[in-house]
Structure 1
């Protein structure tokens, strides 16, 4: 329950503005040009309500500036982009746990930021179910950014450039919680990764020709992995116990820390596998440094428990049966999910 208690007071205040906007389908009177948000042909319906916060040019640029601004943290150095680096699909590549202010270390691996507008739950434990509220978690976490929203707003409201940007991005022009969070969402809503070799393959586009090994990997993935990593988002947005034993000294209960239910012990959000070849280390605690290690775990490392997902406990056997050839093919397929356009897209770059 500690995460639930920790964020309740913060979320209640911010939820006041959400109640007024979440179901509003009316036209939004923006001060500048709306950006076109194109849903890829092979993607499911977008979850985020664009009618309540349509991305605009100025809103997007404001969100981008905030994303890379260290003033969102207590020491003025740790920005969102510090732990979410574009070259690794906006993860903290090579770091098992996220590093924050004063070089403090967290207890979970920084997740990728991509296709956020299609998701319904955020963070490894689903501490929030709305994208607009997601930034509150790292900003207020004492070992990540260690700041308060009120103090962040105090700092940026003293900046003449921010005053100009807020005025150009929102009708009321105010530097407040609602506009601050909406600007960050506008930036993340545009961060769509959907141009990998796999995407070109399923859309029958040039550059999407699969090798025999990649086709074998796709078939194996569909039969052995797609139960949890569904659709072309490669996640079903649920929370599952995948048989990973608690990390020594942490005993992270995952979803149960938010829900308070014993039945949620050791369940974590099923991550998207897009750009997975770039996002090592893997799992919520970053314990595996390679895709090979992940597949070895699913082959012979899954541990039984009361909340273990039933898909990993069939016919009296634990895990997923994969021989060496299967693993080679699966890795070849997973590498087709790398979207080089996304990780090089200047729209999302800091400089």
Structure 2
């Protein structure tokens, strides 16, 4: 029943979005100003359609206020920022599962928020394929924010400050589903993490000098990891079964919850590795507390199954062969993906 309710809300959001979305840029306030969005030179093409929702100063600030507002939840306390903390690349560092209203606990680890405009499917199971619809999932999830869109909008409409902010961000000035979701997207579209040591290394910028072990780690990464963690987003955005034994008391089948196909059992979205040194615990269920544990798993813990990704089952062997020196070098490289500028960027901070 929970699954049916979850995806019913997502479907409702899609219908609302399709009925409201327009490509007419004139809907944005003439008093507002567009924000400059710099695409990193080493990044792939952006997926988000900026022409239908160009980030503006007022729209971004509205989205930021909404992101940190607990009134988006049923108890008035759980905001998006409650589980997405900037210091840990907008994850819930140290929490295996996300905690929501009334201290209820989910069954999945909180994913990072970064470079969302370059992705085309969201959540561990790809429950939505549009960034504007992504917030519907946590808002309506009964153990996360436990609210309805209609209740959220009613609260916003009764708030004089929000009335002013919506009027300043959108020409129609309406506090409605379309503008609410687009404001949140404007905030997330601007959340680009692209200034790690690795970025500076590949762009030949100051501060990008790699040590010998970091270079070794990069070479190992290219040969052993980059088939799934592709491009400088460090994800191919595919859904894969990486051989994790499911917890018997949870048995999360992942992508199959959305597709309904047994061929997708235990497949989850390949996460980006950007800022990965900051985002423990790891995997969709947060079962590993360190990068060393993750690499140990790939070396000797991968479990075979009908949907195991073929990449992890080659030449009659499971997993990825990684000796102790390999693991040390890989961790050194993964630490170069930390973007301290991003996690300290005041534009995205609550205060």
The TM-score normalised by the length of structure 2 is 0.97
CA distance in 2, matches of 1:11, 1:64: 25
Structure 1 vs Structure 2 CA RMSD? 1.3
Partners of 2:96 and 2:9 in 1: how far apart?
30
Q: Is the 8 A contact 2:21 2:178 kept in 1?
A: no
- What is the rounded CA distance, in whole Å, between the counterparts of 1:323 and 1:28 in structure 2? 58
What are the Cα deviations for residues 288-339 of structure 1, in whole angstroms up to 9, with x where unaligned? 0000000000000000000000000000000000000000000000000000
Contact 2:26 2:171 (C-alpha < 8 Å) held by counterparts: no
Q: Which runs of 4+ in 1 moved over 6 A?
A: none
- Separation in 2, partners of 1:157, 1:21: 20
Instruction: Give the secondary structure class of the aligned counterpart of 1:59.
Output: helix
Once the two structures are TM-superposed, the CA of residue 28 in structure 1 deviates from its matched residue by: 4.3
CA distance in 1, matches of 2:19, 2:220: 44
Q: 2: distance between equivalents of 1:28 and 1:288?
A: 48
1:82 aligned to 2:82? yes
Q: What residue is the counterpart of 1:138 in the other structure?
A: 138
Structure 1 residue 15 corresponds to structure 2 residue 15: yes
Kindly state the Cα deviation for residue 27 of structure 1 after the two structures are TM-superposed. Answer: 4.0
Residue 151 of structure 2 is matched in structure 1 by 151
Q: What is the Cα deviation at residue 156 of structure 1?
A: 1.2
1:64 paired to 2:64: yes
SS at the partner of 1:330? helix
Matches within 5 A, 1:190-229: 190-229=190-229
User: What SS is found at the alignment partner of 2:109?
Assistant: coil
SS at structure 2 position matched to 1:252: coil
Give 1:10 shift: 4.4
Secondary structure of the corresponding residue to residue 139 of structure 2: helix
> How far apart are 1:92 and its partner, in Å?
0.1
In the comparison of the two structures, how many residue pairs are matched? Answer: 349
Which structure 1 residue ranges, 5 or more long, are not aligned?
none
Deviation sequence 1:244-280 (CA, Å, 0-9, x none):
0102410000000110000000000000000000000
Distance 2:211 2:71 in 1: 47
Question: What is the Cα deviation at residue 6 of structure 1?
Answer: 2.7
Indicate yes or no: 2:350 matched with 1:350: yes
Report 1:1-351 matches (<5 A): 3=3, 6-18=6-18, 21=21, 24=23, 27-31=25-29, 32-351=32-351
Unaligned runs of 5+ residues in structure 2 are none
Structure 1 residue 13 displacement after superposition: 4.7
Do the aligned residues in 1 keep the contact of 2:20 with 2:178 (CA within 8 Å)? no
TM, length-normalised to structure 1 = 0.97
- From the superposition, tell whether residues 58 and 223 of structure 1 become closer, same or farther in structure 2 (CA, over 3 Å): same
Q: Does the CA-based 8 Å contact 2:84-2:90 persist in structure 1?
A: yes
1:4–1:259 CA contact under 8 A, matched in 2: no
Q: Secondary structure at the match of 1:182?
A: helix
Deviations 1:48-78 (A, max 9, x none): 0000000000000000000000000010000
- SS of the equivalent of 1:179 reads helix
Deviation string 1:165-185 (CA, Å, 9 cap, x unpaired) is 000001110000000000000
Q: What is the CA distance between 1:212 and its match in structure 2?
A: 0.4
